[in-house]
Amino acid sequence: MALLQISEPGMASAPHEQHLAVGIDLGTTNSLVATVRSGVATVLSDAHGRRLLPSVVRYHADGKVDVGYPAQAKAAVDPKNTIVSVKRFMGRGLKDVAHLESAPYDFVDAPGMVQLCTAAGIKSPVEVSAEILRVLRERAEQSLGGSLAGAVITVPAYFDDAQRQATKDAGRIAGLNVLRLLNEPTAAAIAYGLDNAAEGLYAVYDLGGGTFDLSILKLSRGVFEVVATSGDSMLGGDDFDQRVFCWAVEQAKLPPLGPRDTRLLQMKAREAKEHLTFHGEAPITAKLSTGELVDLVLDTETFGSISQTLVQKTLVPLRKALRDAGLTADDVKGVVMVGGATRMPQVQRAVAEFFRRDPLNNLDPDKVVALGAAMQANVLAGNKPQGEDWLLLDVIPLSLGLETMGGLAEKVIPRNTTIPAAKAQEFTTFKDGQTAMSFHVVQGERELVSDCRSLARFELRGIPPMAAGAARIRVTFQVDADGLLSVSAREATTGAEASVTVKPSYGLGDADIERMLRDSFEHAKEDVHARALAEAAVDGQRLLHATRSALDADKGLLSLEEFEVIEGAMKHLEARLAGADHRAIKQATEALGRATDDFAGRRMDEGIRRALAGKKIGSL
């Protein structure tokens, strides 16, 4: 007979314990952190009550780092050391970056990802983003009064594998347990859908500072299903600023500008763009370092005509997403507008014309992504009981493939495939006695490898010598719930003789990340050991808690001996958690993980069996 478990008041653990979890919108222009408090998603503000954190990071020669408003205030004075819109550089090589000529930085072309030379040394975009994330983590920890169990970080749906991995690495360096990377339009759809009890087909038009996403989702009770997604990861509000900037340079007949004047005029261009949302014309006045005075007026019509091609450019992915989904504009029930750049009247008008209906603007386009991310973080942290949570089905935005003969890309997993997904493909040797084979993993829709994004190159060695065409090399692509890829190759005729697994990581190895992690703690004057202990404790507690509820639900799947082994590992971990040795806690956590490995598999099988049994009873 089962005994009721009664815990002491205040010591109550398991089911109702709330884990502190946040959603972070790591934006090109501004970033936000939100959480769910007493069932309501709220954006957290800083000590001055400000919710937005400008995504601006300034490096000083002494290693000090300013983030947000103080950095933004110096953007025009110290342009080289003040990094704005760093998201544009995430996971990007030098040749992929648009408007390089007007970016005032000293770029360093590193393999995989561009780096920036600052007064505080060479910085990777990952480190710069980590500074922003760390400020948001600290804000959340102060405001929630505890260490975070986890965070959901949003990324543009159209981000490729390199950009996603870079974002996840930045989270790690900022000391966050990244529960999931969530696509921005999907996050917006969650916030919108839950707020409005929306059902049916919806499009999310998300024009941010530097990226454009268009996702089509099928919303029904408890399910958010992405049907198709498309976009342009090099198109955003920044490009509208750039058009205004170029117009101003041309109108005022300015000579090529230095970094300070460029930054100054770019900021004036942005102000003018924002002004035009509510006014018919906007002044652009600036005093350049040469003493020259720029004094222009930009009106709505001119702004409309100089930015028309940009607006039209957003309609291309829109049509593509509809085609991929097999839908027409009329099938879409509503269009949710997300991102500050959708405030521009010409954008609103173009979307309204395309769909022949007014877009939905009832949520703050700056906050909706962070709010949706917070709601998802709350679910992922296990704070919502089953039945009150929801199922989220997302897709990969770009096809994943391999290079084949003649520089052609062969698609292995096509775009818009629901994730997690895996696909295996067989290859064979080309020459007699060939013992190695090299693979080139690419992402993109184009036929030529040179037009796709190169994700990784790896070699499978130790293939036993055979006649050409006799070896069977099985290459498996696995995409996880974050949309991140790992690839493994294995020679099949002889079994596990040769196998390799790669996670594309764009020049950032584990050692680099370790170093960045150390650096970031050093200058933040945080105690590395205290942090490591806190993290190990959170992990350990989480596994203990998960194991306890698994045992409560499915103890019956274990023999007495198996149960005792798991219980022993739990006791051991509990004892270690009482101490202060983070390595011992980590080891005990791993040991419990191993002890429950088989149990986890069995529980999952049981889950399916129950689902099927339910079906049969229902159909009788």
Partner 1 sequence: MSAGAAKALTSSGLHSHFELFGLSPAFALDAEALERSYRDIQSRVHPDRFAHAGDAERRASLQWTTRVNEAYRTLKSPVQRAKHLLELRGVDVAFETNTQMPADFLMQQLELREALESATGRKDAAALDALRSSLSLSRKVLEKQIGEAIDVGKDYPGAAELVRKLMFLERLDAEIDSAYEEIE
Residue holding tokens 């219980």?
A: 567
Percent helix, percent strand, percent coil in the chain, to nearest 5: 40, 25, 35
* Cα–Cα dist 282/151, whole Å: 40
Please, which residue, 399 or 429, has the CB nearer to partner 1?
Answer: 399
Whether 250 sits among the annotated catalytic residues: the reply is no
Are 442 and 452 spatial neighbours (Cβ–Cβ below 8 Å)? yes
Q: Which of residues 382-401 bind partner 1 (CB under 8 A)?
A: 382, 386, 389, 391-393
Whether 161 sits among the annotated catalytic residues: the reply is no
Of 174, 164, 184, nearest to 57 by C-alpha is 174
Q: In b/e form, how buried is each residue of 552-570, taking b as 16+ CB within 10 angstroms?
A: eeeeebbeeebeebbeebb
CB of 283 to partner 1, least distance (A): 37
Of 46, 66, 87, 273, catalytic = 87
Whether 184 sits among the annotated catalytic residues: the reply is yes
Residues 375, 381, 533, 537: which binds partner 1 (CB under 8 A)?
A: 381
Please, which residue, 524 or 546, has the CB nearer to partner 1?
Answer: 546
Residues 248, 379, 409, 570: which binds partner 1 (CB under 8 A)?
A: 379
148 secondary structure, DSSP code: -
Please, which residue, 1 or 496, has the CB nearer to partner 1?
Answer: 496
CB of 284 to partner 1, least distance (A): 33
Q: Does 614 bind partner 1 (CB under 8 A)?
A: yes
Q: Which of residues 449-488 bind partner 1 (CB under 8 A)?
A: 476, 478, 480-481
CB of 447 to partner 1, least distance (A): 9
CB of 224 to partner 1, least distance (A): 11
Which tokens go with 169? 């690495």
CB of 601 to partner 1, least distance (A): 5
Are 200 and 189 spatial neighbours (Cβ–Cβ below 8 Å)? no
Q: Is the four-CA dihedral 283, 287, 293, 294 of positive or negative sign?
A: negative
- Here's the x/- map for partner 1, 286-325, by CB under 8 A: it reads as ------------------------------x--xx--xx-
Please, which residue, 311 or 424, has the CB nearer to partner 1?
Answer: 424
Q: Does 550 bind partner 1 (CB under 8 A)?
A: yes
Q: Does 603 bind partner 1 (CB under 8 A)?
A: yes
CB of 540 to partner 1, least distance (A): 10
Are 473 and 491 spatial neighbours (Cβ–Cβ below 8 Å)? yes
Q: Does 592 bind partner 1 (CB under 8 A)?
A: yes
Q: Does 597 bind partner 1 (CB under 8 A)?
A: yes
Are 25 and 181 spatial neighbours (Cβ–Cβ below 8 Å)? no
Q: Does 596 bind partner 1 (CB under 8 A)?
A: yes
* Cα–Cα dist 185/233, whole Å: 13
- Here's the x/- map for partner 1, 2-21, by CB under 8 A: it reads as -----------------x--
Q: What angle do CA 90, 138, 173 make, to 5 degrees?
A: 35
> Which H or E run contains 477?
strand 473-479
Of 18, 159, 186, 171, nearest to 92 by C-alpha is 159
* Cα–Cα dist 582/576, whole Å: 9
Please, which residue, 503 or 594, has the CB nearer to partner 1?
Answer: 594
* Cα–Cα dist 129/120, whole Å: 15
End-to-end CA distance of the chain: 33
Angle between helices 582-595 and 528-554 (to 10 degrees): 20
CB of 261 to partner 1, least distance (A): 37
- Here's the x/- map for partner 1, 205-244, by CB under 8 A: it reads as -----------------xx---------------------
Q: Which amino acid would we find at residue 209?
A: G
Of 46, 66, 160, 206, catalytic = 206
Q: Which of residues 162-181 bind partner 1 (CB under 8 A)?
A: 179-180
* DSSP labels, 82-141: EEE-GGGGTT--GGG-TTGGG--SEEE--SSS-EEEETTEEE-HHHHHHHHHHHHHHHHH
CB of 386 to partner 1, least distance (A): 8
Please, which residue, 302 or 494, has the CB nearer to partner 1?
Answer: 494
Please, which residue, 255 or 601, has the CB nearer to partner 1?
Answer: 601
**CB-CB neighbours of 195 under 10 Å:** 15
Listed ranges 161-169, 379-387, 516-524, 575-583: which one lies at the site for partner 1 (CB under 8 A): 379-387
CB of 292 to partner 1, least distance (A): 42
Whether 87 sits among the annotated catalytic residues: the reply is yes
Q: Which of residues 77-106 bind partner 1 (CB under 8 A)?
A: none
Q: In b/e form, how buried is each residue of 60-82, taking b as 16+ CB within 10 angstroms?
A: eeeeebbbbeebbeebbebbbbb
Q: Does 149 bind partner 1 (CB under 8 A)?
A: yes
* DSSP labels, 234-295: T-SHHHHHHHHHHHHHHHTTPPPPPHHHHHHHHHHHHHHHHHTTTSSEEEEEEE-TTS-EEE
Q: Does 593 bind partner 1 (CB under 8 A)?
A: yes
Of 66, 184, 232, 403, catalytic = 184
Listed ranges 84-92, 376-384, 451-459, 508-516: which one lies at the site for partner 1 (CB under 8 A): 376-384
CB of 504 to partner 1, least distance (A): 18
User: What's the half-sphere exposure (Cβ side, CA atoms, 13 Å) at 239?
Assistant: 21
Residues 380, 441, 508, 516: which binds partner 1 (CB under 8 A)?
A: 380
Q: Which residues carry out catalysis?
A: 25, 87, 184, 206
Q: Which residues bind partner 1 (CB under 8 A)?
A: 19, 149-150, 179-180, 222-223, 316, 319-320, 323-324, 376, 379-382, 386, 389, 391-393, 417-424, 476, 478, 480-481, 542-543, 545-547, 550, 592-594, 596-601, 603-605, 607-612, 614-616, 619
